Chains A and B, each alone.
Chain A
Amino acid sequence: MNLKATLLGAAAAFAMAPMAMAERGSDGHVNIIYWQAPSLMNPYLSGGTKDLEAASLVIEPLARYDETGAIVPWLVDTVPTVENGGVAEDLTSITWTLSEGLLWSDGTPVTSADVRFSWEYCTAEGGGCAQSEKYNDVTDVEIVDDRTVIVHFGISKPFPYGPFVGAQSPIIQASQFADCLGAAAPSCTDANFSPIGTGPFTVTDFRPNDVISLEANQNYRDANLPAFSSVTFKGGGDATAAGRAVLETGEFDYAWNLQLAPDVLANMQSAGQGQIVSGFGTLVERIMVNMTDVNPDLGEERGTAAHPHPFLTDRDVRQALSMAIDRALLTEIGYGDAGRPSCNVLPAPAIYASTANDGCLVQDIAGANALLDAAGWERGSDGVRERDGVRLSMLYQTSTNAVRQDFQALIKQWWSEIGVETELRNLDASVFFGGDPASPDTFQKFFADVEMYANNFDGTDPESYMANWACEQAPRPETQWQGNNMPRFCSEEYDALVAEMSTTGDINERARLAKAMNDMLMQEYVIIPLVDRGRVSAHSNTLGGVILNTWDSELWNAADWHRLSN
């Protein structure tokens, strides 16, 4: 498939769109399919991507990220910065001013009280708000007047765009959710299913995990938008079926997140009904290397720092594992144009992307063998290397997913070529990514030698993401096996960089620190990055205005979507 031509075509279509500018609702109906069905329209109660994106048609934040990752004003006229005086010099407060004349879909005005309420709602005791991290360190949201709020932070916040920015922390209507604070949140079924919002559409019928019917918001701020009068948002099935419905049968206009083998997708696109769009964010498929011993005989101390791993603590072994991998081939087989080989765990935005590790792009089996030979790992009679009675034999686990199982098979073969024996295991995603401390199979417990999954971060600021590999983040029995430092990597030097970044405001200095942390992880080979994964979606040839955005909701600009005449 020729991605460039596709993108150019889409861009050209978009450029021509304003000329065909019609009035609200003139383009009729649009069908969207998500193979994971939304279960709630309230991102504060249900943090799944599918729920966030469905809700983004209805409720909106003050500012959001555009397709380049830049913050753009949404319900405000300008994004506050230190330069324009919106952010205090000492970085402890940020002042937002709502646009003039904003209305909720029920016709009442949007006020700063609603903004304050959104913060209260998410931080209320017992509510279990999924996005409460966005409001970390917020001490108060002060109402200055009807349109102005000041968000106060308890500490100086170098990146003050957590609250009310991006699809994760939208503004909800105070009067609708007033009785739904804290423990009462689940009792507000109607509000959670059809929130009143400022977005281009409003919910007419919500069937959880099935289908959402929406119609144009008659009080939307632009009188000519949205072009569509109604939306059907269908959920369920699998990615193959969703892709087929848009690209082959033409029953639907937009399909989300088509994680399919590249040749399957290309074949679907050749049917001529629609186009594939893709974009890159920060999602990196990576292999985590376990630095602790997971021998079951260790009982309670299994997988803790008390017992170092018998051979993965040898940096040469870890480096050889990384060198033996052909990332370009993995990308070609698993993701096609929607992936790029990656040598960094922090691949984007451009300012944070390191180039120090690009040597990994070339597979080097001979080099890996030489490295292991030099380190004294001798091949045994069965071809598996050993040293002092320790055999290079590993358990490699990941979640169930066709592409991941292909990756496992390929990597197992490459590792066997350098004398490392691998046993594969795949686990159901709900178990693998679950935090159940009683289950031995979670990715946090990591009772395997290496494991593979993908991770990214919200928005464009990597501070909290890079803090994942601080010593204290290691999952261990004392933390009920919670934590993000799966390799149990621990370095004072790294922790110092984390601490430094949390107090540094200058963007170039932050970039230097983030790169240094990334390089340290890469050169220690505790994380072996594989592929920088893009988002792939598809839209029909007659749907115009789609701009794929990987930094925010994919449906962020649904107001601009319109029907193209063939």
Chain B
Amino acid sequence: MTDITEIQENASRSQWWDVWDQFKSHRGALIGAGFFLIIVFGVTFGPWLWTIDPTYIDIRARNQGPSFAHPFGTDQLGRDTLARMIKGGQTSMSVGLVAMALALFLGTFIGVVAGFFKKLDGPLMRLTDLFLALPLLPLLLVMVMLFRDTLSSIFGPEMGIFVLMVTAIGITSWMPTARIVRGDVLAIKEREFVLAARSIGTSNQKMIMRHILPNVLSPIMVSATLGIANAIITESALSFLGLGFPPDFPTWGRLLFDSVDYLQQYPERVMWPGLAISFTVLAVNYVGDGLRDALDPRIRGR
């Protein structure tokens, strides 16, 4: 990790090539990345390829198994499951990724600052305690009550709810990341290389960006993987309670939740969203693994 500092500006391009080379040699990461891209392409361009309206109800075709007309079958109202999976994926993927990114950013920022600056440690950690203690449901009820109408008038109804959901999930799930990052930073800042860097007059900002952050990358990566799954499931719980997207707005979590009642009769209905969520999380996990290895110069050399 120390050698990152030695890298000159003009050499940085070749460093990223090194990272890419290492990443490429990681089979799991490549498969994961490929899979992730397929899902992203699928949910983005799917509606052009599969043109059935996900909210269209064909009541005579309800509860059908997979067929040529409906490859994933239909639900209890005769809506096409494939179309709903595609539409649901757009929401779930974007909520999952954005909320995770927000939580990760907040968590890492607060964790690093608290761990690095002794003065801020106390207040920031008490803030973390407060957020950990806040009961989620009443907090969300209040947020919805206060901000739903304001946000929908600024961003429009769908985007407004998206912003609300992402913020709600983000600000209620950064705390574990913050505590974990802080714990690691506390230990790392006492290491010899940090002392060495300090003795040559490295500024705090550079110290954090070049020496501290690269060393807490692995727990952050794990948090990211777990965070996506968490965000997708939380979103479905919130929408179910009426705190999120309108009820006819499919998401993966919601599809999973709705189909649990039909587990015995139509098991395939649980399978599609369950598999989609699991594989997305797995893909992100392998990409995270690959990135971690690729960014570690000691492994890269091997």
Contacts and interface: CB of A to CB of B under 8 A. Distances in A.
Q: Do chains A and B touch in the complex (CB under 8 A)?
A: yes
Given A406-B77, A441-B145, 18 more contacts: A240-B261, A261-B261, A263-B76, A408-B248, A409-B77, A409-B247, A412-B55, A413-B57, A423-B157, A425-B242, A425-B247, A426-B242, A426-B247, A428-B243, A431-B242, A439-B145, A440-B145, A440-B149
Interface residues of B, number: 25
Nearest to A412: B248
A441 B142 CA distance: 12
Interface string A396-416: 000110100110111011000
A296 interface: yes
Interface string B246-269: 111000000000100110110000
Contacts of A426: 242, 246-247
A441 B241 CA distance: 13
Interface in B211-232: none
Given A409-B247, A425-B242, A428-B243, A333 B261 contact: no
29 contacts: A260-B261, A261-B261, A264-B265, A267-B264, A296-B149, A399-B242, A400-B240, A400-B241, A405-B247, A406-B76, A406-B77, A408-B247, A408-B248, A409-B55, A409-B57, A409-B77, A409-B79, A410-B57, A410-B59, A423-B157, A424-B247, A425-B247, A426-B246, A427-B242, A428-B241, A428-B243, A431-B141, A439-B145, A440-B145
Interface residues of A, number: 30
B63 interface: yes
Contacts of B258: 402
B56 interface: yes
A333 B62 CA distance: 10
Contacts of B77: 333, 406, 409-410
Interface of B: 55-57, 59, 62-63, 76-77, 79, 141, 145, 149, 157, 240-243, 246-248, 258, 261-262, 264-265
Contacts of A16: none
Contacts, number: 68
B21 to A, nearest CB: 51
Interface of A: 240, 260-261, 263-264, 267, 296, 329, 333, 399-400, 402, 405-406, 408-410, 412-413, 423-428, 431-432, 439-441
A171 B148 CA distance: 48
B248 A424 contact: yes
Contacts of B141: 428, 431
A428 B248 contact: no
Contacts of B240: 400
Contacts of B262: 264
A439 B63 CA distance: 38
A462 B47 CA distance: 52
A267 B265 CA distance: 8
A402 B258 CA distance: 8
Nearest to B75: A406
B76 A261 contact: yes
A329 B242 CA distance: 25
B63 to A, nearest CB: 7
Closest A-B pairs by Cβ, 9 of them: A405-B247, A426-B242, A427-B242, A426-B247, A424-B246, A400-B242, A428-B241, A409-B248, A413-B57
Contacts of A431: 141, 242
B42 to A, nearest CB: 24
